[in-house]
Amino acid sequence: MQKKVVVITGASSGIGKALAEKYAGEGCSLVLAARREDRLDELKSRLTGADVLAVKTDVACEDDCKNLMEKAIEKFGQIDVLINNAGISMRGLFHKTEMDVIRRVMDVNYWGTVYCTRYALPHLMKSKGSLVGVISVGGYIGLPGRSGYSASKFAVRGFLQTIRVENLKNGLHVLIVAPGFTSSEIRKSALVENGEQQGETPRDENKMMSAEECATHIFKAVEKRKRDLILTFVEGKFTVFLSKILPRFVEKMSYKMFAKEPDSPFK
């Protein structure tokens, strides 16, 4: 992985930040993207010894995504890995949720992946590089109270699977990553039914996989050019497997689990 140029979206916190630290430690050149420019600059200042370009980017804006890839090529001349990590979540019953909430989640999670992939793809094909999408177990199973979130992650999975098939003979590597519950800020910034941020996580973050552990798994999967990576056993691999043979059971268990959350929108 040394000398590779890696573009990471959503790099200012959580899994994205941990990925930046991991790839910097492995000697890669980095292009870091996020909306919070101050956090990007802070992260860049701490990644001493790595060649880092920080680009303020709102992945929901197509022009920002195009600019991100142009800046990456302008500085480094190539793109070897694109990790579509930027994402937001939501929490609320669909029939009570404002439509703008669903649109915002789709704009970031789905369209952000589409835009970044579109403008990075010619360079990834040239380098025979890796295209990575960070989805969720919610991209395999519909999560109650997260209709827009699950829909966006299902869409990303279908999109990336199609890109993989279209480029079977081009040497492009496509990896779809589905972390289980991982400690990050995504639940704190999740949108509620009226579009405001949730503010407090409804789950115990201390019992989740750390962002650093998740980043290490993703790094190894890219290095080995794996197709799919589902993280955590019970909430990840086992649940996805079980949903194929006992879908009704998994649906009932999902309902019970999310209904136990503090201030759950359903009981």
Helix (H) / strand (E) element for 82: namely: strand 81-84
Q: Tens digits of per-residue pLDDT, 38-51?
A: 999 999 999 988 99
Contacts of 111 (CB under 8 A, 6+ apart): 59, 60, 62
Positions marked active-site? 149
Q: Tens digits of per-residue pLDDT, 135-171?
A: 999 999 999 999 999 999 999 999 999 999 999 999 9
Tokens coding 144 = 């109650």
Interval 199-223 mean pLDDT: 83
Q: pLDDT tier at 201 (50, 70, 90 boundaries)?
A: low
Strands (E), 104-170: 130-134
Flag whether pLDDT at 1 surpasses 60: no
Give the DSSP letter string of 207-251.
Answer: GSBPHHHHHHHHHHHHHTT-SEEE-SIIIIIIHHHHHHH-HHHHH
Backbone angles phi, psi at 232, to 5 degrees: 70, 145
**SS3 of 173, please?**
strand
Classified by CATH at the fold level, domain 5-259 comes out as Rossmann fold (3.40.50)
State the average pLDDT for the chain. Answer: 93
Helix axes 112-127, 62-76, angle to 10 degrees: 30
- Residues comprising the chain, all counted: 267
Write the single-letter amino acid at 203.
R
Query: What pLDDT score does 197 carry?
Result: 87
Q: pLDDT tier at 3 (50, 70, 90 boundaries)?
A: confident
Q: Tens digits of per-residue pLDDT, 17-65?
A: 999 999 999 999 999 999 999 999 999 999 988 999 999 999 999 999 9
